[in-house]
């Protein structure tokens, strides 16, 4: 099993949209190594021909009747939003300036 | 009123419902007695994040009006309940123990809450928990830890520690928790009460804030097995709003709890859930309990489930993986906390800053671990392999059902540790779930019932596990053990706790 470096944690944090401090990067790198060592035993299990279980109770293609029902109230939802404007969620800019 | 406040708060749910139905006490008096108890002791226990006194009294008045009008009410009408703060309820905040949701008022009721309301259950408030249900001690709450009513310096288990502590401290006779890897059973064990994880899919997840969707399941806590079964029956059943909800009749868990008879049942003791790492006091109480079940007429055999030793590894890859995906929804755009939105920062910057400020250390740790386990190049070795091991654990259960009706083990390997003791040692913390993880990965029902006190004088539990959709079996065995142990102790284990 590879060792987790500070740079690995920084990469993972970027993927997960988490801003971490230098201290956190170091701390988590050490801890992830310990956790991965603790879970590494599963790699000993010979399971090449074993199908994966994705879900405890196998249910597929569940349908219900397409009945028109009231939706959640827009005002109630916007009232709980960090920012709203003109009946919509207001979000920070999503495109670069250039 | 002829019934004292102390008599009300120490009564079982069944007794409270009878007192209300026979008009010896009103539902409002019952709610008020519990609110008074909460006001008196919750500053020490910290089971609740939010107490909804007005809402509770209003629900209680509705029950009193119904009984006064001679309307038929359900078996739990007027009985107070504490709700884990991971299930949404209109009118009160849902935080999931996280700063990222602090102050958020959900716009709808979870199915569990809808069913509780329909049953006339009086919801007292929302209980403390490890942030987003990630933890085994309730220390990971952003709002401070909950204390074990048996010893305020110790953890009450987790992640549903607030719900368990509320029931053990007589702040509520009933509580709802959620169990992903043991988060109902483990806190029940270490606070000396009963807690059950129903079969995965038996209770709707609609309105349950997701941690690990293939494992999360809501379930009941109470001080007796029968009360636990009544609450189980009240919340279980098919729900079209949850596509993983099981569309089949709910097993008659209440009849099973009343039957409390193990004659002719075949009980398997799991060999792999004992030995190294299990405290002598835990093992001794377990062995005594198994002897009592044998005396009560069960046939007891040892069963080997060799893949159970890999449950910890499989769980701590699957659950963080699913968590890293599920918690992506906390992106500061539509609800919850938003940090750094200064008009100049990009949406991505705001997400990074918000998630850094809003999530606690364990949640960040699991998001990073899950992101790693799902990342290209490691997926097969970690997440993929863990899912295959999950299949092997399921096969161990299925093989066991060829020779036994239920499996039993200690609920936890140790007595509850002291607050702070394992705070920054994640692997030591994860081992608290050693015995409860196999049933979670398999999806079958499991219950923890008090087994006595360990060497340090703290409660320990016995776990009963059964096949998928055979939830009635866990209640039969638990009720039989409860009857035998109460006989031996001269009353429930909780009577041995120091009064708060």
The residues near B86 (Cβ < 8 Å, ≥ 6 apart) are: B94, B96, B97, B129, B132, B133, B178, B208, B209, B211
Pairing assessment for the beta strands B299-303 and B80-84 based on DSSP bridges = unpaired
* pLDDT for residue B486: 97
Which residues 94-123 in chain B show a CB within 8 A of chain A? 104-108
d(CA B260, CA A84): 56
Cβ atoms B100, B326 nearer than 8 A: no
> Where residue A98 falls among pLDDT bands split at 50, 70, 90?
low
Q: Which residues of B touch A40 (CB under 8 A)?
A: 313
Determine how many CB atoms are found less than 10 A away from the CB of residue B51.
21
Contact call for residues B387 and B310 (beta carbons, < 8 A): no
Residue B89 Rama label (left phi>0; alpha psi -120 to 50; beta): beta
* Nearest one of B216, B213, B206 to B326, comparing CA atoms: B213
pLDDT at A59: 78
| Cβ-Cβ contacts under 8 Å, B377 against chain A | none
pLDDT at residue B182, as a whole number: 98
Closest alpha carbon within chain A to B341: A92
Rounded to two decimals, what is the model's pTM?
0.97
Q: Which is it for the CA torsion B456, B440, B197, B135, positive or negative?
A: positive
Cα–Cα distance list, B140 to B102, B126, B155, B359, B409 (Å):
15, 16, 11, 10, 27
Cα dist. B127→B80, B106, B119, B305 in Å?
13, 16, 20, 35
Q: Which of B139, B163, B194 is nearest to B417 (CA)?
A: B139
- Give dist(CA B408, CA B272) in Å, integer: 11
Chain B contact set for A41 (CB, 8 A): 309-310, 313
Check if B126 is active-site. Answer: no
For the stretch B188-209, pLDDT in tens is 999 999 999 999 999 999 999 9
B228-241 burial, b at 16+ Cβ within 10 Å, e below that, comes to: bbbbbbbbbbebee
d(CA B110, CA B209): 9
Closest CA to B323 of B355, B371, B290: B371
Peptide bond into B436 cis (omega under 30): no
Q: Rounded distance, CA A63 to CA B172, Å?
A: 38
Torsion of CA B159, B475, B248, B106, to 10 degrees: -30
Query: Is B159 marked active-site?
Result: yes
Task: Give me the phi and psi of B459, to 5 degrees please.
Answer: -65, 145
CB contact set of B295 (below 8 Å; sequence gap of 6+): B484
Cβ within 8 Å of residue A13, ≥6 positions away: A19, A20, A25, B368
Residue B157 φ/ψ, nearest 5 degrees: 80, 180
- Judge residue B328's burial from the number of C-beta atoms within 10 Å of its C-beta, 0-12 exposed, 13-18 middle, 19 or more buried: middle
User: Chain A neighbours among B 289-308 (CB < 8 Å)?
Assistant: 307
Give the closest residue to B13 by CA, choosing from B82, B80, B112.
B80
Q: Are A57 and B246 in contact (CB under 8 A)?
A: yes
CB–CB of B199/B238 below 8 Å?
A: no
Where would I find the H helices in B140-272? 161-168, 185-191, 225-235, 253-259
Q: Show residues of chain A in contact with B215, CB under 8 Å.
A: 56
pLDDT the model gives residue B125: 98
Roughly what angle, to the nearest 10 degrees, separates helices B27-45 and B53-68? 160
Separation of alpha carbons B445 and B469, rounded Å: 7
Domain A6-44 has CATH 1.10.20: yes
From chain A, pick out residues whose CB is under 8 angstroms from the CB of B106: 80
pLDDT at B75: 97
Q: What is the pLDDT of residue B274?
A: 94
Mark yes or no for CB contact A55/B214 under 8 Å. Answer: yes
Domains with residue ranges and CATH for chain B? 5-307+395-496 (3.90.1300.10)
Catalytic: B496? no
Q: Is B333 part of the contact surface with chain A (CB cutoff 8 Å)? A: yes
Q: Which of B140, B183, B232 is nearest to B419 (CA)?
A: B140
**Per residue of chain B (500 residues), what is the pLDDT tens digit?**
578 999 999 999 999 999 999 999 999 999 999 999 999 999 999 999 999 999 999 999 999 999 999 998 899 999 999 999 999 999 999 999 999 999 999 999 999 999 999 999 999 999 999 999 999 999 999 999 999 999 999 999 999 999 999 999 999 999 999 999 999 999 999 999 999 999 999 999 999 999 999 999 999 999 999 999 999 999 999 999 999 999 999 999 999 999 999 999 999 999 999 998 999 999 999 999 999 999 999 999 999 999 999 999 999 999 999 999 999 999 999 999 999 999 999 999 999 999 999 999 999 999 999 999 999 889 999 999 999 999 999 999 999 999 999 999 999 999 999 999 987 788 888 888 999 999 999 999 999 999 999 999 999 999 999 999 999 999 999 999 999 999 999 999 999 997 77
Rounded CA-CA distance B225/B142 in Å is 32
Residue A1's pLDDT band, with cuts at 50, 70 and 90, is low
Return the C-alpha torsion angle B396, B284, B446, B438, nearest 10. Answer: -40
Q: What is the 3-state secondary structure (H, E, C) of B394-425?
A: HHHHHHHCCCCCEEEEECCCCCCCECCCCCCC
Asked if B407 contacts B400 with a C-beta cutoff of 8 angstroms, the reply is yes
Rounded Cα–Cα distance for residues B315 and B122 (Å): 35
Residues 364-423 of B with CB under 8 A from A: 364-365, 367-369, 371-372, 375, 381-382, 384-392, 394
Contacts 24+ apart (CB under 8 A), B343-350: B345/A92, B346/A92, B346/A93, B346/A94, B346/A96, B347/A91, B347/A92, B347/A93, B347/A94, B348/A17, B349/A92, B350/A92
- Which value does ipTM take for this structure? 0.94
Q: B61-118: per-residue pLDDT in tens?
A: 999 999 999 998 899 999 999 999 999 999 999 999 999 999 999 999 999 999 999 9
The shortest CB-CB distance from B352 to any of A19, A24, A83 is to A19
Alpha carbon distances (Å) from B83 to B79, B172, B179, B413, B441? 13, 10, 13, 27, 24
Cα B221 off chain centre by:
7
Among B136, B141, B183, B245, the one annotated catalytic: B183
Are B442 and A56 a contacting pair at CB < 8 A? yes
Average pLDDT, chain A: 90
Beta bridge partners of A84: A89
CB contacts < 8 A, A to B, total: 171
Shortest CA distance from B347: residue in chain A: A92
């Amino acid at each position: 099993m590879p060792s987790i470096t500070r740079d690995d944690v920084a990469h993972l944090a970027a993927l997960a949209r988490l801003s971490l401090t230098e201290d956190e990067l170091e701390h988590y790198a050490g801890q992830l190594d310990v956790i991965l060592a603790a879970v590494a035993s599963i790699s000993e299990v010979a399971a090449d021909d074993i199908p994966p279980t994705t879900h405890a109770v196998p249910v597929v293609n569940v349908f219900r009747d397409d009945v028109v029902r009231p939706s959640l109230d827009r005002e109630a939802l916007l009232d709980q939003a960090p920012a709203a404007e003109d009946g919509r969620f207001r979000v920070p800019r999503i495109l670069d300036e250039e | 009123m002829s019934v004292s406040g102390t008599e009300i708060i120490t009564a079982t749910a069944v007794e409270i419902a009878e007192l209300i139905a026979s008009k010896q006490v009103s539902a409002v008096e019952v709610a008020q007695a519990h609110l008074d108890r909460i006001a008196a002791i919750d500053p020490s226990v910290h089971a609740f994040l939010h107490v909804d006194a007005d809402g509770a009294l209003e629900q209680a008045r509705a029950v009193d009006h119904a009984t006064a009008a001679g309307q038929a009410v359900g078996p739990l009408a007027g009985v107070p309940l504490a709700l884990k703060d991971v299930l949404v309820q209109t009118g009160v905040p849902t935080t999931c123990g996280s700063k990222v949701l602090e102050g958020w008022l959900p716009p709808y009721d979870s199915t569990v809450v809808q069913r509780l309301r329909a049953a006339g259950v009086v919801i007292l408030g929302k209980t403390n928990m490890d942030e987003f249900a990630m933890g085994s001690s309730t220390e990971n709450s952003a709002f401070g830890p909950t204390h074990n009513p048996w010893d305020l310096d110790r953890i009450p288990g987790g992640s549903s520690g607030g719900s368990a502590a509320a029931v053990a401290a007589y702040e509520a006779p009933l509580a709802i928790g959620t169990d992903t890897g043991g988060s109902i059973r483990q806190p029940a064990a270490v606070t000396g009460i009963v807690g059950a994880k129903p079969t995965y899919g038996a209770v709707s997840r609609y309105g349950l804030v997701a941690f690990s969707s293939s494992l999360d399941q809501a379930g009941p806590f109470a001080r007796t097995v029968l009360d636990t079964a009544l609450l189980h029956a009240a919340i279980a059943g098919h729900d079209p709003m949850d596509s993983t909800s099981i569309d089949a009749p709910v097993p008659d868990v209440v009849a099973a709890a009343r039957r409390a008879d193990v004659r002719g049942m075949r009980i398997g003791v799991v060999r792999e859930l004992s030995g190294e790492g299990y405290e002598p006091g835990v093992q001794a109480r377990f062995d005594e309990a198994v002897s009592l079940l044998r005396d009560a007429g069960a046939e007891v055999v040892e069963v080997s489930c060799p893949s159970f030793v890999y449950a910890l590894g499989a769980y701590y890859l699957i659950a963080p993986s699913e968590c890293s995906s599920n918690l992506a929804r906390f992106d500061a755009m539509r609800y919850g906390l938003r940090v750094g939105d200064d008009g100049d920062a990009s949406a991505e910057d705001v997400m990074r800053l918000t998630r850094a400020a809003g999530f606690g250390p364990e949640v960040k740790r699991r998001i990073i671990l899950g992101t790693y386990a799902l990342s290209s190049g490691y997926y097969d070795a970690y997440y993929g392999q863990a899912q295959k091991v999950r299949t092997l654990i399921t096969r161990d259960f299925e093989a066991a059902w060829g020779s036994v009706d239920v499996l039993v083990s200690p609920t936890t390997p140790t007595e509850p540790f002291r607050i702070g003791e394992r705070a920054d040692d994640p692997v030591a913390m994860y081992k608290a779930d050693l015995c409860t993880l196999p049933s979670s990965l398999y999806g079958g029902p499991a219950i923890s019932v008090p087994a006595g006190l360990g060497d340090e004088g703290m409660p320990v539990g016995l776990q009963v596990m059964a096949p998928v959709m055979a939830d009635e079996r866990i209640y039969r065995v638990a009720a039989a053990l409860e009857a035998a142990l109460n006989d031996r102790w001269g009353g429930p284990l909780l009577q041995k706790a120091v009064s708060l």
